């Protein structure tokens, strides 16, 4: 048995080395498979990152556009506020002018009313003077103190009827 022992040892050593090489080969194949899986994962992640970057750039453009629109709208709103203030000031000024005209018209109407009252009083005084003079001269009284006046409503109706239609 002595001569087969070195062969058996050499065969066992060779067999051990072969098993070791097989194990290393399996490990290398497994590591290569893991590496390929990792590369595919990294490639997917890289693609996702690129897509995200494109989406972010698009978002930035949209945000910049919206900001520009917002600024433009702010300017328009400011212009509208100024126009509104000017319109309000014009309205107040116009209202004050109309109030002044109304007061002026009221004052004119009051003055006219006072003039009319004075004229009526003077007319009454003149009538009394005329009647007094007629009584002194024994003349018949031309005025009996009653005046015949047409109502204003009838005058307005007549004026309306005079307007041709058509």
φ/ψ (deg, to 5) at 49: -65, -40
pLDDT band at 137 (very low <50, low <70, confident <90, very high): confident
| Percentage of the residues of the chain whose pLDDT score is greater than 90 | 70
CB-side neighbour CA atoms (13 Å) of 73: 6
Average pLDDT over residues 131-136: 88
Q: How far is CA 78 from CA 65, 69, 75, 91, 147, in A?
A: 20, 14, 5, 20, 68
- Does the pLDDT at position 10 exceed 90? no
Q: What is the pLDDT of residue 142?
A: 58
pLDDT at 165: 54
Break the chain into its structural domains and give their ranges. 7-139
Question: What pLDDT shows up at residue 136?
Answer: 85
**pLDDT 10s digits, 53-72:** 999 999 999 999 999 999 99
Angstrom distance (rounded) from CA 108 to CA 100: 12
The pTM of the full predicted model, rounded to 2 decimals, is 0.42
- pLDDT-derived band at 1 (thresholds 50, 70, 90) equals very low
pLDDT at 48: 95
Percent of the chain scored above 70 by pLDDT? Answer: 81
Range from 43-47, 91-95, 140-144 carrying the lowest mean pLDDT? 140-144
């Amino acid at each position: 048995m002595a001569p087969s022992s070195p062969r058996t040892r050499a065969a066992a050593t060779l067999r051990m080395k072969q098993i070791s090489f097989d194990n290393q080969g399996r490990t290398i194949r497994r590591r290569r498979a893991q590496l390929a899986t990792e590369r595919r994962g990294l490639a997917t992640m890289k693609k996702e990152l690129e897509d995200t970057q494109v989406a972010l750039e698009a978002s930035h453009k949209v945000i910049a556009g919206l900001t520009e629109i917002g600024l433009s709208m702010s300017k328009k709103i400011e212009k509208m506020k100024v126009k509104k203030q000017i319109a309000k000031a014009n309205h107040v000024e116009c209202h004050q002018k109309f109030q002044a005209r109304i007061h002026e018209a009221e004052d004119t109407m009051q003055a006219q009313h006072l003039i009319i009252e004075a004229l009526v009083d003077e007319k009454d005084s003149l009538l009394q003077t005329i009647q007094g003079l007629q009584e002194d001269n024994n003349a018949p009284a031309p005025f009996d103190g009653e005046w015949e006046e047409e109502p204003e409503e009838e005058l307005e109706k007549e004026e309306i009827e005079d307007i041709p239609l058509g």
